[in-house]
Amino acid sequence: SYELTQPPSVSVSPGQTARITCSGDALPQHYAYWYQQKPGQAPVLVIYKDSERPSGIPERFSGSSSGTTVTLSISGVQAEDEADYYCQSADSSGIYVFGTGTKVTVL
């Protein structure tokens, strides 16, 4: 079955830039979405259609795409950005799938 691969964890110091990658063979054909999830809360959309930011999401969150990899970048990381992050996209049949998830730790 189709998989989206993310690094299990990323550690970053406050004020630095965190980059989370998501790799999948069908990513060139389908948009990617990124979700932030804090403990005990529902996921929050932070990036849609590869690089668009919903209203209310800080400008420090950005998304990019290159071939079979999409990347979520968080510039000027703050303590409140510590959370799990998931990418989502579709396989060749249009069936949605989520990435394995990345835990971002702010040192």
Partner 1 sequence: EVQLVESGGGLVKPGGSLRLSCAASGFTFSNAWMSWVRQAPGKGLEWVGRIKSKTDGGTTDYTAPVKGRFTISRDDSKDTLYLQMNSLKIEDTAVYYCTTELSIPYWGQGTLVTVSS
Residues in touch with partner 1 (CB under 8 A): 1, 33, 35, 37, 42-43, 45, 48-49, 54, 86, 88, 93-101
Give least dist CB 96 to partner 1, A: 4
**Residue 28 vs 54, nearer CB to partner 1:** 54
Residue 17 or 38 having the CB closest to partner 1: 38
Class of residue 41 by CB neighbours under 10 A (exposed 0-12, middle 13-18, buried 19+): exposed
- Helix (H) or strand (E) holding 69, with range, is strand 69-74
Task: Quote the least distance from Cβ 40 to partner 1, whole Å.
Answer: 10
Rounded-to-integer distance, Cα 42 and Cα 49, Å:
20
SS3 of 42, please? Answer: coil
**Pick 9 or 16: Cβ nearer partner 1:** 9
